[in-house]
Amino acid sequence: MPTIRLFRPCDAAALAEIFHRAVHEIASAQYSADQCAAWSPAPGPAESWARHAADGRMVFVACDAQDKPLGFIELEADGHIDCFYCHPEVAGTGVGAALYAALEAEARTRGLTRLYVEASEPARRFFRKAGFSVLRQREFER
3-state secondary structure of 41: coil
Average pLDDT, the chain: 92
pLDDT tens by residue, 1-54: 899 999 999 999 999 999 999 999 998 888 889 998 998 999 999 999 999 999
Backbone angles phi, psi at 63, to 5 degrees: -130, 150
DSSP 99-142: HHHHHHHHHHHTT----EE---HHHHHHHHHTT-----------
Domains present along the chain, CATH in parentheses: 3-129 (3.40.630.30)
What amino acid occupies position 125?
R
Angle at 121 between CA 17 and CA 127, to 5 degrees: 95
Look at the pTM and tell me if it is higher than 0.85: yes
